[in-house]
Chains A and B, each alone.
Chain A
Amino acid sequence: MMNSANSNNHHQKHRLAWLRWAAPLAVFLLLLLLFWRGLSLDSSTLPSPLVGQPMPAFSLEMLHDASVLKTEQDFKGQVALINVWATWCFACHHEHPMLMDLAYLNRVPIYGLNYRDDREAALSWLEALGDPYQFTVFDPDATVSIDWGVYGAPETFVIDQKGIIHYRHVGVITINDWETVFLPLIEQLEQAA
């Protein structure tokens, strides 16, 4: 009786022996896949639902002259960058020299969207560090920035000639971003027109 139970048990064990290494291996591979995917996702840069859409309409004062109102129509005409910035934004300090280089390069016009800022502070920033923008619109209470889906600064939008948004970049533009993402997209948009 005892013997037969043992042999039965032994038989079962033998039959399922491969599970002993296959099951943990399968779990390991599954976790590897999940972590590989999960950790390579950057949850801080969200995709913008505005990509593929026309620019949200707005009417804002120009930073340099409160009596001049600018609208989204003033951004149209050629492929352009719209850069969301603020003087309180630490990363914007980092990005500013890059924007100056891009302005010097003069590949595409850059427009500024000043976000939740103080006009005097913003003006003296541009005075001290240089002004890379064609012009900047002033959005102190973020009403327009919210329509653009802005949730931080800096953010940079690429628009085409007709004002369709094609890309939203969250964070500082690096030289690598410019060469691998912005420039190819700009060329593609210019050729498509």
Chain B
Amino acid sequence: MKKCFWVIWVVGSFSVWAAPIEPYEFANETDRALFQKMTHELRCLTCEAQSIAESNAPWAQDLRREVYRLIQEGGDEMAILTFMTDRYGDSVLYKPPFNQATWVLWLGPFMLLLLGGFILGRIVSRQKGN
């Protein structure tokens, strides 16, 4: 019974990996790689915690099509990112830029680490002193 449960659990979890497949054809491997890279770097806004490469949401399908179109038209990484942020803002990026609104997000963990190290250092030095 328990074994059966585990089999179902393991097999069931594979479905999460199923990536949407569309018949996009590329002239060369560079374009294909760029398509893969860009669709993984763009966040699906209608489905939390998925990139547009992973999502089957209609909106993500539309955006994959737009990325494909931009690549076919000779657009590079910068052109694709600009196209997306002009329309959807920084929220569409999985890696948000460093700016006034995001510096806490970027530096926060390091500041906490420094603070923790400082406190730890104080405790250790005090115990040594004793």
Q: Is the CB of A148 within 8 A of B62?
A: no
CA distance A34 to B114 in the complex (A): 20
Residues of B near A147 (CB, < 8 A) are 87
Q: Is the CB of B89 within 8 A of A46?
A: yes
Contact of A152 among B46, B86, B87 (CB under 8 A): B46
Number of interface residues of A (CB under 8 A): 18
A interface footprint on B78-100 (CB within 8 Å = 1, 0 otherwise): 00000001111101000000000
Contact residues, A141-155 vs B (CB, 8 A): 141-142, 146-149, 151-152
Contact residues, B21-76 vs A (CB, 8 A): 45-46, 58-59, 62-63, 66
Q: How large is the interface on B (under 10, 10 to 19, 20 to 34, 35 or more residues)?
A: 10 to 19
CB closest residue in chain B, given A145: B62
Q: Is the CB of B62 within 8 A of A146?
A: yes
Residues of B near A9 (CB, < 8 A) are 130
Pair count A-B, CB < 8 A:
39
Contact of A49 among B58, B62, B89 (CB under 8 A): B89
Interface of B is mostly: helix
Contact of B91 among A12, A46, A50, A152 (CB under 8 A): A46
Known: A116-B58, A151-B59. A146 touches B87 (CB 8 A): yes
B2 within 8 A of A: no
Q: Is the CB of B87 within 8 A of A49?
A: yes
Chain A nearest CB, measured from B56 CB (Å): 14
Chain B nearest CB, measured from A139 CB (Å): 11
B-binding residues in A (CB < 8 A)? 5, 8-9, 12, 46-50, 116, 141-142, 146-149, 151-152
Closest 3 CB pairs of A and B: A149-B87, A151-B45, A142-B62
